[in-house]
């Protein structure tokens, strides 16, 4: 690599590859809510803090702490959190009321505490386990080993937590960086080092960093006695920018420092022996911790609707209690002392208010079954079963890696069946992050196909929505040309070129690589010179590194497409040998050509790196005594820099032809310079790069002086391989009615091309761009223009620079929401982690009905995974942070369809019916109590045996609903995947809405009233004494309760999809067995005499009483009405699932029906 400047000071991100913007060169902080770059005041950043070399700031610690509890605060805090939940607090109050003699219906025993204790204990164990995991993670991080260096360069070992700002520490190859630090020196000749940043930005490619001072200056300040001070901006979430002023001893003006001089906490040192660093930000101030937000508690939409239902039930319960209490007091006032001998109609000297309070408490206990204590426990069990189905599904596992799906949060399983928006990362999620050199065009010749297989062509054979589309505007411009002034109105159109080639262009047949080699060696070929320059540009214009293993070169770099360039160049004989600082003050990169050129040395003198605004990269080189400028970049910006009209002829047609194949293209150009011009450019480059103020602007101005009057060389085409099944998955998601967004940190062109390749953007879909805003006014103007134009059937394209201003303004946020809601697809690029989360929160803010899902594979996706309703991680090559933070982890993007359409859709139906049924079966129980209240003059006496009522929810009816509704199967996965319209049931809230809820509540009241009134009228319970042991009242009560069990289990059988499966029939039989066993124990054993003495002998008496037997036989016939109503609903208003199951049933009958001879 060529010389970057005097004194070893490096520009951030120099040599950045064109496929990916260097983090160090991002001109705009792409992070929503981060501090902007601090304005310079008198050469120093404003509002800064000071870090002095070897002067430790003891007030700022590097310790991190993410635990919620300590050993002494766990019990009180956890109990406070759990009883802050309305349900737990309610049942605690009920238990307290059960101990008050005046109102108790359990003999003063707090029976509710038994299930409540079980619930609280389970919750505490779960919370303790999760916090223990955080504690061990914190301890592992804080006790990491670091090497501290003192003023005498003596080394000592310390923990990460002991590092403070101002300390100097040593990082060796393969180690992680313990704090955000300034690079002081490295063991490489030019003071550079390389880091792998997957823990921060999700990219495993190496990033180049440079020392802020020269090796000689490091030797001087490290000897002690020299003051070196760094003024830095406040802590920020921005991973891509850093602004500081370095005051060196003996210098009057400070030097500018930038992100290219910084190593961030969590990154790992690679390809560098060791680096000396100055700790700048520690602990919670580091970029990694600033970007780390605690995961919000994720409640599904059904959970939120359930909360509203529970509040409504509370209100209904209060109204019922108040009404019954008033009726009771009125009855007490009107009735004479002889009217009902068993009633105590005297207030015993109490006032009416005290009497009302007692009556209210009595009826609260009578109706507490409306909100069953076991609801949360049973619901958690059902959701856990749904999560286990995902983990057990081999189809959701990686066949190659053998990794099954993983469910971290079963709480959101039903939300998977209601997803309206999918927010997807690109690299490693949609793509494999593996590049292949596909084709190239040099001069007027297309060299044909270099790939062994042509996956893209096979992909185009699928349905239209799975076909890679083209993207070029009708005027020949492309997305890259969008500016704040004309960022709207990009329209795609198909190329007029033929599908199999471009007219007027000579296409070279196979083997294409052999043809390129021949031309490189044949100096008489007219394309020889241009071909050599073309591949020389690919070999020089990058920041990749090479090492040799087993005699073969291994290329690594910050951009995977640059690695693909170098690998292909090596295959055809243009091989990068090494990269080092050359002697004599000139650095260079050694290149070897197979042929007459032999081994050559090239010095790269100046670099204008790639950025999202420039969309190109330029290098100034010295080669064999000549000075050459090489530039490669997007066609949208390269056209005006080259010969006029060069991209309007065959080259332009070839660009469009490559685009139709979903390939990523770059235009290659060059020009020669004389020595004096090159010397002047080097001088002005050094001045711009070391400027304190407006460094980026001055570097752009320098690049503009170089990048003009270029000579067109050719076009390269790279394939970024999609993961298997991604186009089909995107197609399926769209047919299911889900809107897909792509959120990526990659550049705009890459994101758009991948979106086309995977079928997210159709051939005839226009693109509306909101790109490159430099101020809030720019962003508002683009939004206004887009709003006036309309985005219906268009794809919205947004970049991080514009998102920064849009997310900060309420009007802009609302407008972006409206535009995105009308768009067919949304592509967001150059985003920081917090911006990804900000866009998801924007979608949730203005439309609470949206259910969002975020899917990604890297640590940079953790924020959006935690911010969405459901977070899904793709196990990839970027570490395990996303997997640890997600709700569900899968191995490939295509498994998302199975997760949503099969598991999520079923989970939504199962849990919806479960919630309705669970509330229904307790309404049945409460309705009987209301009927008895009317018969008993509202005295508040119990209607059902207390211990049987307590066992009803937990031991009698809990297991059947878990088994029957937890494992109900509608149609096989293969059948479901052929019918994407089935997913609409969740989007349309078919199974849980106000109408369905009202129907179930009416059914509960109807069944409960019948269950009590029929045996009551048959046996005369109204005139029976409640104090008679085993008397008529208790026979009636047990008969009514038996009918309740029969009706609710019968209703469960009716709503089950697999009514005749062994699991369904077996668990229902087990429920009846548990119930009758309970009756036997309570009615005919000494233990029952202690627990429920008044019902002694009643169970057998029920079987000997004609009225009771008649009630047991006739009342369940009411279920025929419910069964008939269900079939009428299926016939009159069938859902897509009803229609499909009916067709399958008819086909099954047709297969088994005997054929007529």
**What residue ranges in 364-493 does DSSP mark as E strands?**
406-407, 421-424, 431-442, 445-446
| pLDDT > 90? residue 156 | yes
Distances (CA, A) of 651 to 479, 508, 712, 715: 18, 15, 10, 8
Quick one: average pLDDT of 228-240? 86
- Cα 812 to Cα 802: distance, rounded to the nearest angstrom: 10
How wide is the angle at C-alpha 244 spanned by C-alphas 240 and 250, nearest 5°?
A: 150
Q: Is 693 annotated as ligand-binding?
A: no
Most confidently modeled range among 128-132, 278-282, 441-445? 278-282
Q: Is 194 annotated as ligand-binding?
A: no
Cβ burial, residue 136 (10 Å; 0-12/13-18/19+): exposed
Check if 425 is active-site: yes
Res 604: pLDDT: 84
Give every CB contact of residue 708 below 8 A, 6+ residues apart in sequence: 641
Contact 857, 432 (CB under 8 A): no
- Cα 759 to Cα 727: distance, rounded to the nearest angstrom: 6
DSSP string, 184-206: EEESSTTSEEEEE-HHHHS--SE
Q: Is 522 annotated as ligand-binding?
A: no
| pLDDT > 80? residue 46 | no
Question: In the chain, where are the structural domains located?
Answer: 32-62+163-290, 63-144, 305-335, 382-430+723-893, 438-720, 908-1145
Instruction: Kindly report the number of other CB atoms within 10 A of residue 62's CB atom.
Output: 28
Residues in a beta bridge with 825: 795
Contact 146, 167 (CB under 8 A): no
Residue 649 backbone dihedrals phi, psi, to 5 degrees: -100, -135
Q: Is 746 annotated as ligand-binding?
A: yes
How wide is the angle at C-alpha 623 spanned by C-alphas 622 and 625, nearest 5°?
A: 80
Instruction: Average the pLDDT over each of 507-516, 651-660, 737-746 and give the range with the smallest value.
Output: 507-516
Q: Are β-strands 825-829 and 739-743 bridged in parallel, bridged antiparallel, or unpaired?
A: parallel
| pLDDT > 90? residue 367 | no
Residue 790 backbone dihedrals phi, psi, to 5 degrees: 90, 145
Would you give the distance in Å from CA 219 to the centre of its chain? Answer: 47
Give every CB contact of residue 703 below 8 A, 6+ residues apart in sequence: 608, 614, 618
Tens digits of residue pLDDT in 763-805: 778 888 888 888 899 999 999 998 888 777 888 999 888 999 9
Contact 718, 17 (CB under 8 A): no
Distances (CA, A) of 540 to 24, 604, 626: 20, 8, 15
Q: Is 861 annotated as ligand-binding?
A: yes
- Cα 657 to Cα 439: distance, rounded to the nearest angstrom: 11
What pLDDT band is residue 472 in, cutting at 50, 70 and 90?
very low
Distances (CA, A) of 205 to 427, 556, 563, 1098: 12, 7, 10, 77
Q: Are β-strands 794-799 and 766-770 bridged in parallel, bridged antiparallel, or unpaired?
A: parallel
What pLDDT band is residue 1025 in, cutting at 50, 70 and 90?
low
**CATH no., domain 438-720:** 3.40.1110.10
Q: Which CATH architecture best describes the domain 32-62+163-290?
A: Distorted Sandwich (2.70)
What pLDDT band is residue 1153 in, cutting at 50, 70 and 90?
low
| pLDDT > 80? residue 32 | no
Torsion, Cα 417 419 423 425, to 10 degrees, reads 10
Give every CB contact of residue 1135 below 8 A, 6+ residues apart in sequence: 985, 990
What is the helix (H) or strand (E) element at residue 366, kind and residue range? helix 352-366
Considering Cα of 787, then 788, then 789, then 790, what sign does the dihedral take? positive
The single-letter DSSP state of residue 324 is H
The single-letter DSSP state of residue 1118 is G
Contact 142, 63 (CB under 8 A): yes
Q: Is 1041 annotated as ligand-binding?
A: no
Would you give the distance in Å from CA 41 to the centre of its chain? Answer: 41
Contact 767, 471 (CB under 8 A): yes
DSSP string, 907-949: HHHHHHHHHHHHHHHHHHHHHHHHHHHHHTTT----SS-HHHH
- Cα 446 to Cα 430: distance, rounded to the nearest angstrom: 29
Sequence-ordered alpha helix ranges (H) in 690-775: 695-706, 726-735, 748-757
Considering Cα of 676, then 579, then 561, then 433, what sign does the dihedral take? negative
How wide is the angle at C-alpha 524 spanned by C-alphas 519 and 526, nearest 5°?
A: 70
Distances (CA, A) of 86 to 279, 307, 686, 1052: 47, 9, 66, 28
| pLDDT > 80? residue 1093 | no
Q: Is 126 annotated as ligand-binding?
A: no
Q: Is 393 annotated as ligand-binding?
A: no
Cβ burial, residue 999 (10 Å; 0-12/13-18/19+): middle
Res 1053: pLDDT: 93
Quick one: average pLDDT of 652-666? 79
Q: Is 533 annotated as ligand-binding?
A: no
Q: Please tell me the class of the 382-430+723-893 domain.
A: alpha beta
Which one is catalytic: 28, 425, 720, 762? 425
Distances (CA, A) of 346 to 331, 337, 352: 11, 9, 11
Could you check whether the bond before residue 847 is cis, i.e. omega within 30 degrees of 0? no
What pLDDT band is residue 1068 in, cutting at 50, 70 and 90?
very high
- Cα 812 to Cα 803: distance, rounded to the nearest angstrom: 10
Would you give the distance in Å from CA 1117 to the centre of its chain? Answer: 50
- Cα 422 to Cα 428: distance, rounded to the nearest angstrom: 16
| pLDDT > 60? residue 489 | no
Sequence-ordered alpha helix ranges (H) in 936-1061: 946-951, 958-966, 973-977, 984-987, 994-1019, 1032-1055
Torsion, Cα 581 587 589 590, to 10 degrees, reads -80
Tens digits of residue pLDDT in 164-195: 999 999 999 999 999 999 999 998 767 888 89
Instruction: Average the pLDDT over each of 137-151, 235-249, 257-271, 1087-1101 and give the range with the smallest value.
Output: 1087-1101
Quick one: average pLDDT of 629-644? 88
Tens digits of residue pLDDT in 938-997: 665 777 887 788 778 778 888 888 888 878 888 888 999 999 999 999 998 888 888 999
Distances (CA, A) of 564 to 203, 569, 628, 877: 16, 8, 23, 18
Helices 1106-1114 and 994-1019 pack at an angle, to 10 degrees, of 160
Contact 872, 933 (CB under 8 A): no
Tens digits of residue pLDDT in 661-715: 767 789 999 999 999 999 999 889 888 877 767 777 888 889 999 999 999 999 9
- What are 558's two structure tokens? 């910050």
Mean pLDDT of the chain: 78
Considering Cα of 945, then 948, then 954, then 957, what sign does the dihedral take? negative
Instruction: Average the pLDDT over each of 315-324, 360-369, 621-630, 821-830 and give the range with the smallest value.
Output: 360-369
What pLDDT band is residue 1078 in, cutting at 50, 70 and 90?
confident
Q: Is 562 annotated as ligand-binding?
A: yes
Residue 1114 backbone dihedrals phi, psi, to 5 degrees: -90, -40
Res 961: pLDDT: 86
Question: Distance between terminal CA atoms of the chain?
Answer: 86
Percentage of the chain beyond pLDDT 90 is: 21
| pLDDT > 50? residue 247 | yes
Contact 768, 795 (CB under 8 A): yes
The single-letter DSSP state of residue 723 is P
What pLDDT band is residue 347 in, cutting at 50, 70 and 90?
low
DSSP-derived 3-state class of residue 284: helix
- Cα 601 to Cα 579: distance, rounded to the nearest angstrom: 10
| pLDDT > 60? residue 575 | yes
* Of 391, 457, 474, 512, residue with least CA distance to 903: 391
Give every CB contact of residue 113 below 8 A, 6+ residues apart in sequence: 95
Percentage of the chain beyond pLDDT 70 is: 80
| pLDDT > 60? residue 486 | no
Tens digits of residue pLDDT in 492-544: 333 333 334 444 444 443 457 778 888 888 888 888 899 889 988 988 888 77
Q: Is 87 annotated as ligand-binding?
A: no
Considering Cα of 41, then 45, then 51, then 52, what sign does the dihedral take? negative
Res 761: pLDDT: 87
């Amino acid at each position: 690599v060529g010389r970057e400047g005097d004194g070893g000071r490096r520009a951030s991100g120099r040599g950045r590859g064109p496929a990916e913007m260097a983090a160090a060169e991002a001109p705009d902080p792409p992070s929503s809510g981060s501090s902007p770059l601090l304005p310079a005041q008198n050469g120093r950043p404003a509002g800064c803090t000071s870090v002095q070399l070897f002067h430790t700031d003891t007030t700022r610690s590097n310790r991190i702490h993410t635990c919620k509890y300590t050993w002494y605060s766990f019990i009180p805090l956890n109990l406070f959190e759990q009883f802050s939940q309305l349900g737990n607090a309610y049942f605690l109050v009920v238990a307290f009321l059960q101990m008050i003699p005046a109102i108790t219906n359990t003999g003063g025993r707090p029976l509710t505490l038994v299930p409540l204790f079980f619930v609280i204990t389970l919750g505490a164990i779960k919370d303790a386990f999760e916090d223990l995991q955080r504690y061990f993670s914190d301890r592992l991080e804080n006790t990491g080993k670091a090497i501290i260096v003192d003023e005498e360069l003596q080394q000592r070992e310390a923990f990460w937590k002991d590092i403070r700002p101002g300390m100097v520490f040593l990082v060796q190859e393969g180690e992680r960086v313990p704090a955000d630090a300034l690079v002081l020196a490295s063991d490489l000749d030019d003071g550079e080092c390389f880091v792998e940043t997957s823990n921060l930005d999700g990219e495993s490619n190496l990033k180049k960093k440079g020392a802020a001072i020269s090796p000689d200056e490091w030797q001087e300040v490290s000897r002690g006695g020299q003051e070196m001070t760094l003024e830095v901006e406040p802590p920020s979430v921005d991973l891509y920018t850093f602004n500081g002023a370095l005051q060196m001893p003996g210098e009057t003006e400070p030097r500018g420092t930038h992100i290219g001089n910084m190593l961030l906490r969590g990154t790992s040192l690679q390809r560098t022996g060791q680096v000396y660093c100055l700790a700048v930000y520690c602990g919670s101030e580091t970029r990694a911790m600033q970007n780390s937000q605690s995961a919000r508690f994720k409640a599904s939409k059904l959970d939120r609707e359930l909360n509203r239902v529970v509040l409504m039930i509370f209100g209904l319960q209060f109204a019922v209690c108040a009404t019954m209490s008033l009726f009771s007091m009125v009855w007490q006032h009107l009735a004479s002392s002889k009217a009902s001998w068993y009633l105590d109609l005297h207030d015993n000297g109490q006032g009416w208010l005290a009497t009302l309070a007692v009556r209210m408490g009595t009826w609260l206990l009578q109706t507490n079954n409306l909100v069953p204590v076991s609801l949360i426990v049973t619901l958690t069990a059902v959701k856990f079963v749904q999560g286990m189905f995902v983990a057990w599904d081999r189809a959701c596992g990686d066949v190659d890696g053998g990794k099954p799906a993983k469910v971290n949060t079963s709480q959101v399983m039903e939300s998977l069946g209601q997803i309206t928006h999918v927010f997807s990362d690109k690299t490693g999620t949609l793509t494999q992050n593996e590049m292949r050199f596909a084709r190239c065009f040099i001069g007027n010749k297309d060299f044909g196909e270099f790939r062994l297989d042509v996956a893209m062509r096979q992909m185009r054979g699928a349905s239209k929505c799975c076909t890679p589309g083209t993207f070029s505007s009708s005027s020949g411009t492309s997305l890259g040309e969008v500016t704040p002034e004309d960022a709207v109105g990009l329209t795609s159109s198909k190329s007029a070129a033929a599908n199999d080639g471009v007219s007027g262009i000579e296409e070279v047949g196979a083997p294409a690589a052999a043809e390129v080699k021949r031309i490189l060696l044949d100096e008489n070929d007219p394309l020889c010179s241009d071909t050599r320059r073309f591949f020389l540009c690919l070999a020089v214009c990058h920041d990749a590194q090479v090492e040799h293993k087993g005699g073969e070169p291994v290329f690594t770099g910050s951009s995977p497409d640059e690695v693909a360039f170098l690998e292909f160049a090596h295959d055809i004989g243009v091989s990068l040998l090494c990269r080092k600082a050359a002697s004599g003050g000139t650095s260079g990169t050694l290149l070897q050509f197979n042929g007459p050129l032999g081994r050559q040395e090239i010095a790269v003198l100046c670099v204008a790196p790639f950025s999202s605004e420039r969309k190109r990269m330029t290098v100034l080189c010295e080669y064999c005594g000549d000075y050459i400028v090489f530039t490669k970049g997007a066609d949208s910006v390269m056209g005006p820099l080259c010969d006029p009209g060069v991209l309007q002829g065959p080259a332009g047609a070839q660009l469009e032809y490559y685009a139709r194949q979903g390939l990523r293209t770059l235009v290659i150009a060059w020009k020669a310079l004389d020595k004096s011009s090159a010397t002047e450019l080097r001088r002005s480059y050094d001045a711009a790069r070391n400027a304190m103020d407006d460094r980026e602007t001055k570097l752009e101005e320098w690049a503009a002086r170089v990048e003009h009057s270029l000579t067109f060389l050719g076009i390269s085409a790279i394939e970024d391989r999609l993961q298997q099944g991604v186009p089909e998955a995107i197609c399926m998601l769209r047919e299911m009615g889900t809107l897909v967004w792509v959120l990526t940190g990659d550049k705009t062109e890459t994101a758009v091309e991948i979106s086309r390749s995977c079928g997210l953007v159709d051939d005839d879909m226009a693109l509306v761009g909101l790109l490159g805003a430099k101020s809030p006014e720019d962003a508002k103007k683009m939004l206004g223009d887009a709003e006036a134009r309309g985005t219906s059937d268009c794809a919205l394209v947004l970049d991080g620079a514009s998102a920064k201003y849009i997310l900060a303004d309420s009007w802009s946020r609302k407008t972006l929401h409206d535009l995105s809601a009308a768009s067919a697809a949304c592509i967001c690029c150059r985003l920081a982690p917090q911006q990804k989360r900000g866009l998801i929160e924007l979608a949730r803010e203005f439309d609470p009905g949206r259910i969002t899902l975020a899917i990604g594979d890297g640590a940079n996706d953790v924020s959006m995974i935690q911010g969405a309703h459901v977070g899904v991680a793709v196990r990839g090559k970027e570490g395990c942070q996303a997997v640890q933070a997600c709700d569900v982890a899968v191995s490939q993007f295509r498994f998302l369809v199975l997760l949503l359409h099969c598991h999520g859709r079923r989970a939504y139906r199962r849990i919806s019916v479960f919630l309705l049924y669970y509330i229904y079966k307790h309404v049945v129980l409460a309705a009987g109590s209301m009927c008895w209240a009317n018969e008993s003059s509202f005295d508040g006496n119990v209607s059902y045996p207390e211990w049987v009522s307590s066992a009803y929810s937990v031991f009698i009816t809990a297991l059947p609903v878990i088994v029957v509704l937890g494992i109900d199967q509608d149609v096989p996965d293969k059948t479901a995947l052929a019918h994407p319209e089935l997913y609409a049931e969740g989007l349309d809230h078919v199974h849980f809405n106000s109408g369905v809820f009202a129907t179930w509540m009416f059914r509960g009241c109807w069944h409960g009233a019948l269950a009590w009134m029929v045996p009551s009228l048959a046996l005369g319970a109204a005139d029976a004494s409640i104090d008679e042991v085993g008397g008529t009242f208790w026979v009636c009560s047990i008969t009514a309760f038996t009918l309740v069990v029969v009706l609710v289990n019968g209703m469960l059988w009716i709503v089950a999809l697999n009514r005749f499966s062994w699991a369904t029939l077996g668990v229902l039989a087990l429920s009846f067995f548990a119930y009758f066993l309970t009756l036997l124990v309570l009615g005919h054993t000494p233990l029952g005499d202690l627990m429920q003495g008044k019902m002694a002998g009643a169970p057998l008496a029920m079987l000997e009483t004609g009225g009771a037997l008649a009630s047991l036989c006739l009342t369940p016939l009411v279920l025929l009405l419910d069964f008939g109503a269900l079939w009428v609903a299926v016939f009159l208003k069938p859902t897509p699932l009803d229609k499909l199951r009916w067709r399958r049933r008819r086909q099954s009958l047709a297969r088994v029906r005997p054929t007529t001879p």
